Structure 1
Amino acid sequence: MELKPKRFLILDDQLVLRKLISRQASFFSRYAVEIDEFSDPAEALRSIAEGGYQLIITDIGMPGMNGIDFIKNVARLGYQSALLIISGYDDKTLQTIADMSTNLGIACTRFLSKPYSAEAFVAMLNGIFNELERTELPASMDIELLLADICNDKFMLEFAPIVSLADHLPVGFSLRTLAIGGQRCCIDHLLPLLAGRRMASAVALETMVERIGRRLQGLFHAAGQDECRIHIRIDEACLCADNVFDHCFTQLQQYGVAPNRISFELADGLSRRSDALCFENIAKIKYLGFRLVADAFGTGSLTVGNLLKFPFDQINVPVETLRWLRTLQGEDSNTFRLLRHFGLSQVAVCATRVSDEEGRELALAMGCAKGLGDFLAGAVAEQDLAQAIIDCQGDQAAPGGTTE
């Protein structure tokens, strides 16, 4: 599905650096990119006033109008999308400037300190657009057209690799985005959007599982027990649908994909007020051979009671949660040892939203063996998923490989 190109504005008074950034942006394969380059902040501001940019990239140390004044003027123009600051200043100074930018209304502001690698630049772009997708309101999407496109197979999927934190080898893939109706819709947005329409969540889930099964037809069966797993996020609306997981099971059988290769990531916590069918479907997920993952522990509605009550195979813990756990008890590789008493191994704890090396090191120190985040690995398009899994299995077959 063809997506609209993203427009970038690059401001740097040094021609060589400006061209270098422009070239690095061309490595960003997630979208087609249109780039406008400027050496004069005043000219850049005139172009921004005309609108249409999804990302502004700017230096700070420039003659005439410096980067700080430029950012203030950008905010005065009402620009609110995303800003990437690239500068040789130290991280503390750049963080202060980024905080200023956020307070001025540019919510998605990131920075890179020179020197940096092309890989770090692309990872930063992925992080920026992931954040934009998480914060964009999906209300503008027509629910009728959305369901029609899903039912008529007019969408594409995108996955985020789950990697071993020790050696960066992929051990799984998590479904994160749908490209549909000319837009990219994060699963975090799609689920609540569908939840208000009866059976819409079930239809979407069954359709996505069928698409994944079709893509991987024969691959899981032939690759053996070390196969990477595919994680699919679900919410309470999915659990309220009758027979949805039976249908998913039947679809996977049709394509020769074993159900234990699919993990359902539960986004919502359940309480006594939840429909009885939700609890029945939790049991059915396990009975049918699927895996169950607790997602976003510590930042969503999943409670410790949920963790101890349900038969989870893995816990996803955002880096933000790991930070406050460290504040409470210090760095402890046995932070999640209590879960062992309920059948969950320490290696089954996965750190999520890992956006930098500090986050990766924290996750390792707190006992997480696996991680998910823009810093760790770039997104994988649907059409490349099968090859990515084959490559992953080749890596895991080598000495020192890691399996899930």
Structure 2
Amino acid sequence: MNNKFAIRILVLDDEPFMLKLLCRMLENSGFSSVSTCDNGRAALELLDRTNCHPDLILLDINMPEMDGVEFVRHLVEHHYSGALILVSGEDERVLQSVEKLVRAHKISVLGYLTKPVIPARLAELIDKWMPPAQVAIEAAKRIYSAEELGEAMVSGELVNYYQPKVDVATGEVVGVETLVRWRHPSDGMVYPDKFITLAEEHGLIDELTRVVLSGALNQSRTWRDAGMPLRVAVNVSMDNLVSLNFLNNVVELTSKAGVPPQEVVLEVTESRLMTDLRVPLEILTRLHLKRFRLSIDDFGTGNSSLTQLRNIPFVELKIDQSFVHGAWANDTQRAMFNASHGLATQLKMESVAEGVEDRADWDFVRHQGCDLAQGYFIARPMPAEDLPAWLVDWKRRCPELVLQ
């Protein structure tokens, strides 16, 4: 738990009763430095007093004169470096929209509370608070160059981790998704969000994908020889699909590794719109004809949408984690999940729920009849050598999860 006495909290709400209620909740939880304002302009004046700068603001969204959305814009102008908790009686979808807006403004938001506020939920959100210096350290992003990434591929610093996919009905482990990591000699483990875009922008994505695919196929062969025939999935960038050489490379590497094409899943995410679909469509259609499994990744986000389902012969639909984790308690997410899953069912595609983070998520996707699941509740991505031990532990856990 954070040092409560070190957190300066401002409660901003136009309703006197809510101000008193929230202050009482905070005091009962041990927070001693709490101030209040009943309008946005007074709160901004308070921010201008450096000795009273709040670390955390409980912000009501719907207020007269200056509403919470406008107040957030003024926070940006005031270079506010603290965090927010949104509070409102508005529809949950409105709260979610404002939360996204706050994040887009690069202001830390710990979450939102619906009225009437539950004290335990308030305490849970405040527990997420971190001092600004710590937030800055965690948010700091090391910028890498294309030259560094190119050298890393040559020197073997890129390593594959594997996250299991399991059959939701039986618990059977049917495959793994390959997730590349950069084992940097001085920075430690670097995650793909730090270098995939770099590879795409500097013409390195073909070589990066080749390194990842080659390693995954060789590992698949090793597992098969050890009596563990697992489907292996590899992420494919749309930038890989601008040259027919990609098709030849996939076929050649798969044949060389001795892995059946139907046991290879190519997960396609369209992170940017393609102006000319002729070559990508040819590559993906021919891969399908050669019995490779095509998966549409992060469905419902970015550009991965109904158009791609219509144009490309996908056999697997991955429901994005933003529609899965917590969907059991969120009407909007549940509707998105059900729409995606229903579409997969109607199109006779295998559905995969990403982001199964806890038992409630697992029970939800089981109840909804999803085919496969992956997420931290099942397993975190792991080095290949850790998979056998995880399998033993999963077999121990599995009966209790599927025999309900």
Q: What TM-score, normalized by structure 2, do the two folds share?
A: 0.60
Distance verdict in 2 for CA 1:388–1:246, change over 3 Å: farther
Q: Deviations over 1:11-69 (max 9, x none)?
A: 68xxxxxxxxxxxxxxxxxxxxxxxxxxx987xxxxxxxxxxxxxxxxx9999877999
Q: Deviations over 1:99-136 (max 9, x none)?
A: 7x49x97998xxxxxxxxxxxxxxxxxxxxxxx7xx87
The answer to whether the aligner puts 1:187 opposite 2:189 as a matched pair is no
The answer to whether the aligner puts 1:367 opposite 2:369 as a matched pair is yes
Deviation at 1:94, TM superposition (A): 3.3
1:156 paired residue among 159, 164, 171 = 159
Deviation at 1:260, TM superposition (A): 2.2
Answer yes or no: is the 8 Å Cα contact 2:196–2:205 preserved in 1.
Answer: yes
Aligned residue runs from structure 1 range 202-217, under 5 A: 202-217=206-221
Distance verdict in 2 for CA 1:362–1:241, change over 3 Å: same
**Matched AA of 1:157:** N
**Matched AA of 1:317:** I
Matched with 1:291 is 293
Aligned residue runs from structure 1 range 65-104, under 5 A: 91-97=120-126, 101=129
Answer yes or no: is the 8 Å Cα contact 1:165–1:369 preserved in 2.
Answer: yes
**Matched AA of 1:155:** L
Matched with 1:143 is 146
Distance verdict in 2 for CA 1:320–1:78, change over 3 Å: closer
2:178 paired residue among 148, 172, 175 = 175
Q: Deviations over 1:203-237 (max 9, x none)?
A: 1111111112333434326648xx22121111211
**Matched AA of 2:210:** E
Alpha-carbon separation, structure 2, partners of 1:327 and 1:336: 14
Deviation at 1:283, TM superposition (A): 1.5
SS in 2 for 1:163: strand
Answer yes or no: is the 8 Å Cα contact 1:161–1:173 preserved in 2.
Answer: yes
Alpha-carbon separation, structure 2, partners of 1:229 and 1:151: 27
Aligned residue runs from structure 1 range 306-317, under 5 A: 306-317=308-319
Q: What TM-score, normalized by structure 1, do the two folds share?
A: 0.60
Distance verdict in 2 for CA 1:202–1:372, change over 3 Å: same
Alpha-carbon separation, structure 1, partners of 2:167 and 2:33: 38
Answer yes or no: is the 8 Å Cα contact 1:82–1:106 preserved in 2.
Answer: no
Answer yes or no: is the 8 Å Cα contact 2:55–2:82 preserved in 1.
Answer: no
Q: Deviations over 1:361-380 (max 9, x none)?
A: 33233331321222232221
Deviation at 1:170, TM superposition (A): 3.0
The answer to whether the aligner puts 1:201 opposite 2:205 as a matched pair is yes
Matched with 1:263 is 265
The answer to whether the aligner puts 1:239 opposite 2:241 as a matched pair is yes
Answer yes or no: is the 8 Å Cα contact 2:161–2:178 preserved in 1.
Answer: yes
SS in 2 for 1:353: coil
Alpha-carbon separation, structure 1, partners of 2:178 and 2:27: 40
Q: Structure 1 regions of 5+ residues with no counterpart? A: 1-9, 13-39, 43-59, 109-131
Alpha-carbon separation, structure 1, partners of 2:296 and 2:336: 22
Alpha-carbon separation, structure 2, partners of 1:201 and 1:163: 29
Answer yes or no: is the 8 Å Cα contact 1:162–1:170 preserved in 2.
Answer: yes
**Matched AA of 2:165:** I
Answer yes or no: is the 8 Å Cα contact 1:218–1:256 preserved in 2.
Answer: no
2:386 paired residue among 376, 381, 384 = 384
Alpha-carbon separation, structure 1, partners of 2:202 and 2:385: 30
User: What percent identity do the matched residue pairs reach?
Assistant: 16
**Matched AA of 2:369:** G
**Matched AA of 1:154:** E
Answer yes or no: is the 8 Å Cα contact 1:169–1:401 preserved in 2.
Answer: no
Q: Structure 2 regions of 5+ residues with no counterpart? A: 7-25, 36-53, 58-79, 84-105, 111-117
Which of structures 1 and 2 has the larger relative contact order (alpha carbons within 8 angstroms, sep 6+)?
1
**Matched AA of 2:179:** R
Deviation at 1:329, TM superposition (A): 8.4
Task: Mark the structure with the bigger radius of gyration.
Answer: 2
| RMSD after superposition | 4.8
Answer yes or no: is the 8 Å Cα contact 1:270–1:306 preserved in 2.
Answer: no
Aligned residue runs from structure 1 range 111-130, under 5 A: none
Q: Deviations over 1:138-190 (max 9, x none)?
A: 6x012111112113322222222222334554332112341332343433453
Answer yes or no: is the 8 Å Cα contact 2:163–2:374 preserved in 1.
Answer: yes
Matched with 1:53 is none
Answer yes or no: is the 8 Å Cα contact 1:81–1:106 preserved in 2.
Answer: no
Answer yes or no: is the 8 Å Cα contact 2:159–2:182 preserved in 1.
Answer: yes
Alpha-carbon separation, structure 1, partners of 2:158 and 2:107: 25
Answer yes or no: is the 8 Å Cα contact 2:323–2:333 preserved in 1.
Answer: no
